[in-house]
Amino acid sequence: MRFGLAAYSFPWRCGFTEYGTVGLCANPYTADDLLDLAARNGLTVIELPFQMFPDLEPATLRRFRDRADSLGLAIVSDSGVVDVPTLQRHIPAAAALGARTLRVTLSKILEGNRASAPGGWEPYLQQKIAQLQELRPLAEHCGVCIAPENHQDATTADQIRICDEVGGDFIGATLDAVNPLAVGEHHLEAARALGPRIRNVHLKDYQIYLSPSGYRLVRCAIGEGVLNLPALLAILSEVAPDVTCNIELAALRARHVRLLEDDWWQGFPPRDARALVPALRLAYEHARPSGEDWRTPFERDDDADALSTYEEGQMARSIEYLHSVTS
């Protein structure tokens, strides 16, 4: 098991997100900055999207790969929503970087709002599986495992189905450690069910704020929310001991999971109510005080310095906690 950091921990500092009157970060992190940050903090993996490179020319990718190698850092590549033409470019690019895993997403749906999928979630998922089947020969040729993430849309059953229906050794799962809560699942149950299909893990944590519609998930440093990291790592060491685990704090705004509203369930097949109990129990056991302000600096319209401090401070505390658990 190797531990690292993901660029999407810094949506603001990496220049991925334009914010209100502040706009884009004036001095965003570069890909090389993230290499330095990871190495300086004793990490051994970096996960980043292709948009951080000026181009995908072989010389560009080779230079970055060589620098990562010199720092003892493995690379996990990030792409976006599964799309055949895009992945026909990104799979060979990942191979050129020496990345064994290419994390992808299935959709841009958040908060478990699967009812919004064009044509319904089931036909949409079938389409994505068919696209991944088409890409399988290229992934096998390049030696790159495509690992769809549970990006607040896919259930654990969906991820298992994708792996089983695409088949082969170069399809797997990126497990976002606490995103199972966005589809009413417990994160530890999800990890155990996915088992050896897991190829990459996003180490994330949320604080939970109950609402009349369900609950809000608000990003925080690892160890400051609901994630039981020691228990998760114990499961991973048993079922998927060779995975990469990258701190990926991500969401700059609270995610409101409206699982107490009837319409929310239109995106899901029938489900035994008892299956919800572990997630709901976790939510109620860890719920923050009702009068506490759940808004992030992005939702409070804070200034650029506050946004940078928010992201950088959470990463620093997450790394410190990770080392305390794994040392």
Domain positions in the chain: 2-204+227-251+303-326
Which segments of the chain have a pLDDT < 70? 19-21
Say how far apart CA 38 and CA 298 lie, in whole Å: 25
Say how far apart CA 290 and CA 211 lie, in whole Å: 9
In this prediction, residue 20 carries a pLDDT of 66
For 284-298, b/e burial (b = at least 16 CB within 10 A) is eeeebeeeeeeebbb
In this prediction, residue 247 carries a pLDDT of 99
Say how far apart CA 187 and CA 226 lie, in whole Å: 10
Residue closest to 197 by CA, chosen among 179, 173, 167: 173
In this prediction, residue 250 carries a pLDDT of 86
Q: How is 247-287 classified by DSSP, letter by letter?
A: E----SS-EEE-TTSGGGGGGS----GGGGHHHHHHHHHHB
The CATH fold assigned to 2-204+227-251+303-326 is TIM Barrel (3.20.20)
Contact 183, 264 (CB under 8 A): no
In this prediction, residue 21 carries a pLDDT of 63
- Please report which residue ranges of the chain form alpha helices under DSSP H: 31-40, 58-70, 84-97, 121-142, 156-166, 187-194, 229-239, 277-286, 304-326
In this prediction, residue 18 carries a pLDDT of 77
In this prediction, residue 151 carries a pLDDT of 97
Say how far apart CA 264 and CA 189 lie, in whole Å: 22
Angle at alpha carbon of residue 120, lines to 90 and 164, rounded to 5°: 55
In this prediction, residue 243 carries a pLDDT of 99
How far lies 317's CA from each of 34, 62, 249, 322, in Å?
16, 32, 11, 9
In this prediction, residue 107 carries a pLDDT of 98
Regarding beta strands 244-247 and 198-203, do their DSSP bridges make them parallel or antiparallel, or are they unpaired?
parallel
How far lies 114's CA from each of 84, 169, 270, 323, in Å?
22, 28, 14, 36
Alpha carbon 176 to chain centroid, angstroms: 5
Contacts 24+ apart (CB under 8 A), 56-61: 56/89, 56/93, 56/96, 58/96, 61/93, 61/96, 61/97
